[in-house]
A and B are shown apart, each in its own frame.
Chain A
Amino acid sequence: MIWLTWRQFRAQAITAAAALAAFAILLAATGPHLASLYSTSKITSCHGLACQPAANAFFGQLAGLDTVVYLLGIGVILVAPAIIGIFWGAPLIARELETRTFNLAWTQGVTRAQWLAVKLALTGLAAMAVTEALSLIYSWWADPISKAIGVSNSGPQLFSQGQFSSVIFASHGITPLGYAAFAFALGTAAGALIRRALPAMAITLAIFAAVQLAMPLLVRPHLVSPSHTTTSIYASDLVYGSLTADVVPGHPSAWILSSQALNAAGETVTTIPAACDNANPSGEKGGTSAITPAQCMQSRGYREAISYVPTSRYWSLQWVETGIFLALALALAYFSVWRLGRRRI
């Protein structure tokens, strides 16, 4: 069965290996330049407030190619599981049914449960390996940018996405591995159910895209227990006239789940009090002649209550999310085996 799996998977495996190699070459060619820019920047030796300008200077030095590769890499890692689900998963059973070769495959001396188990295991492992390899290579390449983003509270628009932002979280660490397993098992199950490759591919893409949208918006915020703090409304505010926290003081890279302003009595406020609203119409923070709304509110005893995920919980969040997707993948794989075992071709 291992032989047959490999023989039928060979062309796809070669394609995947070629794509992976091309990706690795692109990153290997541009990576050293990026690393040397970082090591010669002031980020490595900066302290406190000096880090923000150092990081901005580093971002300013990045060439157009670096930016393109930075975005392209994220795109490739996010799209790879979908492609795997569509082209490896969906046809796995559906193609056998369409070409009627199941007549051949399932009447040899191997039960169809074994047939499917070996195919799912080997192809699924390949799917996880390829996607995780993409992610690891990319994490190595983007490491200087990630570090610079980590020390700067707000970089230029492109480089403002911290490790907890939707796309960064989904393209780093071990989550890509979970997505790949899930997408592959999803495609296989869709193929087993719909029995035609093309519609199964479309359904796979639709479901996978929906899950990838729902995950960061609806599910991920509930996966780890957040920390709570009530802190200075001034220190947590980076933008004029905002009552929501932009940063957790003392935890610059933490993921803010929710925040609200409290008045001196501890009651939630939803509008900036009139006395502070026009404190500094220009919005410039830290001016000498006027104070910002946040400073004004600070002086009147306002505080900011923040619920957040500190960076120390980054890996537990990664593990929990990956675990969920691996469990979903196993459930879908089990469903496919069960479906095939019902013998309704």
Chain B
Amino acid sequence: MSAVIEADRLGKRYRRQWALSDCTLSIPAGHVVGLVGPNGAGKTTLLNLAVGLLAPDAGTIEVLGGIPAAGRAELSRVGFLAQDSPAYAGLSVADHLELGAHLNRGWDAGLARGRVERLDLDPRQKAGTLSGGQRAQLALTLAIAKRPELLILDEPVASLDPLARREFLQDLMEAAAEQELSVVLSSHLIADLERVCDYLIVLVGSRVRVAGPVEELLATHHRLSGPRRDPATLPDGLEVISASHTDVQTTLLARTSGPVLDPAWTVSQVGLEDLVLAYMSQGAGRRRRDNHHLEVQK
């Protein structure tokens, strides 16, 4: 399985503040990958580095085996949809398609026209007067019609209403399936990711907390509840992600390599949202410790 994005100790600094540091990850091809994490985890910075809008200050990043945005060839293989899907307010929908046609060698005019018709966008309408959902659809049309191998979307639905969000994601799924695209999208809306992603990466404080196919993640994570006990006495092969205790009971969200046989535990399924939140709060704890560490270093 080849990687569409391969980052090695990647770092990006704004003035003296590191927005992303020491980020190592590998995103496999052929998936719809959800990149999830709290605000400030470095998702947008990572994606901007992946499309070459930013250059790294530390480490390396390779996209489809090349340096992002190094030349026309690299640029034409990656489609990008930025946060809030910016568009030229004074240019019409048709102008935007024309823009795509002039700036991309592999432009699929038929595909673009077909999408605009199907989405019921008026070609003469100025992009500035489109609704947020329509603008996102227009931006997605531009990103898809350049016929990329990899489509990168940064919080594509964050500003859309629930209906527009559902339509957009539906449309994205169809396009990805039709064109056999690899897709990477970031979001903090786990419900949306659950609907479209088959691979998930949880990024907290520039670090990958967990990554893997959604099915596998769901199959290996469980909620265990039982009488209160010291976490140190847990059986082997059980990695505790989060634990909560009451006077009499302990509830764990744990990664298990095999079935849990201890009859003292009640094992139940865990949803993707709980799973992600468990990893995110675990990261938050670590991050606090990291910050403390930095304070000491100063």
Q: Which residues of A are interface residues toward B (Cβ below 8 A)?
A: 1-4, 7-8, 11, 99-104, 106-112, 342-345
Looking at the assembled complex, report how far the CB atom of A295 sits from the nearest CB atom of chain B, in whole angstroms: 71
B residues near A100, Cβ cutoff 8 Å: 82, 84, 86
Residue B33 is within 8 A (CB to CB) of chain A in the complex: no
Stretch at the interface among B97-105, B116-124, B235-243, B277-285: B97-105
Determine if B104 and A109 form an interchain contact, defined as CB atoms under 8 angstroms apart. yes
Asked whether A104 and B142 contact (CB < 8 A) given A109-B105, A110-B72, A342-B55, the answer is: yes
Determine if B86 and A107 form an interchain contact, defined as CB atoms under 8 angstroms apart. no
Q: What are 7 sample pairs from A and B whose C-beta atoms fall under 8 A apart?
A: A2-B102, A4-B102, A104-B86, A106-B53, A107-B75, A108-B100, A345-B54
Nearest B-chain residue to A341, judged by Cβ: B55
A residues near B51, Cβ cutoff 8 Å: 107
Determine if A345 and B82 form an interchain contact, defined as CB atoms under 8 angstroms apart. no
Determine if A3 and B98 form an interchain contact, defined as CB atoms under 8 angstroms apart. yes
B residues near A111, Cβ cutoff 8 Å: 69, 71-72, 75
A residues near B142, Cβ cutoff 8 Å: 104, 108
Partner of A344, one of B55, B72, B106: B55
Residue B87 is within 8 A (CB to CB) of chain A in the complex: yes
Partner of A107, one of B80, B90, B106: B80
Nearest B-chain residue to A102, judged by Cβ: B53
Partner of A343, one of B54, B75, B98: B54
10 A-B pairs closest in CB distance: A103-B82, A108-B103, A109-B76, A343-B55, A109-B104, A107-B80, A100-B86, A3-B102, A101-B86, A110-B103
B residues near A2, Cβ cutoff 8 Å: 102
Complexed CA–CA distance, A8 and B89 (Å): 11
Complexed CA–CA distance, A4 and B88 (Å): 11
| A to B contact number (C-beta, < 8 Å) | 82
Residue B38 is within 8 A (CB to CB) of chain A in the complex: no
A residues near B139, Cβ cutoff 8 Å: 104
Nearest A-chain residue to B76, judged by Cβ: A109
Complexed CA–CA distance, A11 and B78 (Å): 32
Determine if B89 and A107 form an interchain contact, defined as CB atoms under 8 angstroms apart. no
Query: Number of residues in B with C-beta < 8 Å to the partner?
Result: 34
Asked whether A103 and B146 contact (CB < 8 A) given A108-B99, A108-B100, A110-B103, the answer is: no
Determine if A8 and B146 form an interchain contact, defined as CB atoms under 8 angstroms apart. no
A residues near B105, Cβ cutoff 8 Å: 109
Binding site secondary structure of chain B: loop
Complexed CA–CA distance, A99 and B82 (Å): 12
A residues near B91, Cβ cutoff 8 Å: 7-8
Residue B48 is within 8 A (CB to CB) of chain A in the complex: yes
Determine if A108 and B104 form an interchain contact, defined as CB atoms under 8 angstroms apart. yes
What 0/1 pattern do residues 66 to 83 of B give for CB contact below 8 A with A?
000101100110111010
Determine if B52 and A343 form an interchain contact, defined as CB atoms under 8 angstroms apart. yes
Partner of A109, one of B48, B72, B86, B98: B72
Asked whether A345 and B53 contact (CB < 8 A) given A108-B100, A109-B75, A109-B104, the answer is: yes
> Residue among A2, A342, A344, A345 with the most chain B CB within 10 A?
A344
Asked whether A104 and B87 contact (CB < 8 A) given A3-B102, A342-B55, A343-B55, the answer is: yes
Residue B108 is within 8 A (CB to CB) of chain A in the complex: no
Determine if B106 and A109 form an interchain contact, defined as CB atoms under 8 angstroms apart. yes
Looking at the assembled complex, report how far the CB atom of A329 sits from the nearest CB atom of chain B, in whole angstroms: 26
Looking at the assembled complex, report how far the CB atom of B256 sits from the nearest CB atom of chain A, in whole angstroms: 42
Determine if B53 and A101 form an interchain contact, defined as CB atoms under 8 angstroms apart. no
Nearest B-chain residue to A100, judged by Cβ: B86
Complexed CA–CA distance, A109 and B86 (Å): 17
Determine if A1 and B102 form an interchain contact, defined as CB atoms under 8 angstroms apart. yes
Determine if B98 and A103 form an interchain contact, defined as CB atoms under 8 angstroms apart. no
Partner of A7, one of B71, B80, B82, B95: B95
Looking at the assembled complex, report how far the CB atom of A99 sits from the nearest CB atom of chain B, in whole angstroms: 6
Complexed CA–CA distance, A241 and B86 (Å): 71
Complexed CA–CA distance, A7 and B69 (Å): 24
Determine if B53 and A107 form an interchain contact, defined as CB atoms under 8 angstroms apart. yes
B residues near A343, Cβ cutoff 8 Å: 52-55, 69
Complexed CA–CA distance, A1 and B72 (Å): 13
Determine if A103 and B72 form an interchain contact, defined as CB atoms under 8 angstroms apart. no
Determine if B55 and A109 form an interchain contact, defined as CB atoms under 8 angstroms apart. no
Looking at the assembled complex, report how far the CB atom of A340 sits from the nearest CB atom of chain B, in whole angstroms: 11
Complexed CA–CA distance, A8 and B102 (Å): 14
Complexed CA–CA distance, A104 and B146 (Å): 12
Complexed CA–CA distance, A3 and B107 (Å): 15
B residues near A344, Cβ cutoff 8 Å: 54-55
A residues near B48, Cβ cutoff 8 Å: 345
Looking at the assembled complex, report how far the CB atom of A96 sits from the nearest CB atom of chain B, in whole angstroms: 9
Asked whether A8 and B53 contact (CB < 8 A) given A3-B102, A107-B80, A109-B146, the answer is: no
Looking at the assembled complex, report how far the CB atom of B183 sits from the nearest CB atom of chain A, in whole angstroms: 15
Determine if B54 and A104 form an interchain contact, defined as CB atoms under 8 angstroms apart. no
A residues near B52, Cβ cutoff 8 Å: 106-107, 343
What 0/1 pattern do residues 239 to 260 of B give for CB contact below 8 A with A?
0000000000000000000000
